[in-house]
Structure 1
Amino acid sequence: MRAIERSDVEDFLFHEADLLDQWRLPEWLELFTDDATYEVPCTDLPPDASADNNLFYIADDRFRLGERVKRLMKRTAHAEFPHSKTSRIVGNVRIRGRGEDTVDVSAVFQTFRTKDGTTDLYFGTSNYRLKVDDNRIRIGEKRCLLGGEGLRPHGRISIVL
């Protein structure tokens, strides 16, 4: 197995952003391992807070993430039908650590979301634990730390960050 370089990680994260912007959520879901977690803690929590004893906006395991994707792809998901238009910018990609088959990565994000004549900006840092096997990169953990002081004026997260 060859070493995974930052450019490999960047390409993977850019691919993830593209899948999300195109609302190809079932394909995006396939980027996750079977034991993956996806978390968005509240903005007033420390970055290492646990979902076990704190309120999170999103704290999904792989099964719940799959259910979220199914729900968002249905016409009955009124908050996202028709789908928002989004545009994601991913930058400042850094490899923070390496394990035997994992790579810890951080990247900043800006997600612009337009719906019903309103454009909102979500920004922050995404921390990943990427798992590498057979030169394939998959997401084992993703935690999006929102940079704002709260969700106002948005009031909710109905998209995937």
Structure 2
Amino acid sequence: MSGFNDQQLSNFIYAEARLLDELRFEQWLELFTADAHYWMPLTHGQTDPLLQGSLMYEDLLLLKVRVERLAGKRTYSQQPKSRCHHLLARPEIETAHPEHQPEKGQYVVRTAFHYVETRLEQQWLYAGWATHQLVTQDGALRIRQKRVDLVNCDATLPGIQLFM
């Protein structure tokens, strides 16, 4: 099995952000493994999403439910729909991370970001880091876990409607 190089890993991260910015959530969900999680810790340096509270810790089923809600005609909080934009720094391949094992088709990529979410006259700016644990499945990259660490994770935050 041939591994993925740094440019291919970076391109995957950029492509994922573009799917989110273009609100192509069904295609975005296809990037995840069946056992995937989307995690947004509540505190800095949080190590366990199950024994500590999190802003979000969603498996693939919950992500699908959120995507269905966003598309629903009776979801009044999304009329008109929210929009978003990711501004990403150059993704960094975390070779020292214990989950990073290219010989086993496992990669860890960390990316600093600014994220803007807007609806009507309101706009919110978030900053943080996304850490993707990627695996190779059927010759393609898939997300096993996406961890989103916000700079102000412990602040009182408005309802985040979309995905960072």
TM (normalized to structure 2)?
0.88
Between the aligned partners of 1:149 and 1:131, the Cα distance in structure 2 is 27
Q: CA deviation at 1:116?
A: 1.7
Determine if contact 2:16/2:28 at 8 Å carries over to the other structure: yes
Aligned pair partner of 1:78 in 64, 76, 79: 76
Residues 52-108 of structure 1, C-alpha deviation per residue, up to 9 Å, x if partnerless?
122211110111111111111212222233221211112231111331121011111
Q: CA deviation at 1:156?
A: 1.8
- Single out whichever of 96-105 and 27-36 deviates more from structure 2: 96-105
Report whether the alignment pairs 1:141 with 2:139: no
Identity of aligned residues (%): 26
TM (normalized to structure 1)?
0.89
Determine if contact 1:80/1:159 at 8 Å carries over to the other structure: no
Letter in 2 for 1:7: Q
Aligned pair partner of 1:56 in 54, 57, 63: 54
Letter in 2 for 1:89: L
Letter in 2 for 1:21: D
Change (3 A) 1:115 1:93: same
Between the aligned partners of 2:57 and 2:51, the Cα distance in structure 1 is 11
* Aligned equivalent of 2:159: 156
Gaps of 5+ in 2: none
* Aligned equivalent of 1:14: 14
CA RMSD of aligned residues (A): 1.7
| Aligned length, in residue pairs | 158
Determine if contact 2:44/2:149 at 8 Å carries over to the other structure: no
Determine if contact 1:84/1:114 at 8 Å carries over to the other structure: yes
Report whether the alignment pairs 1:126 with 2:130: yes
Change (3 A) 1:28 1:148: same
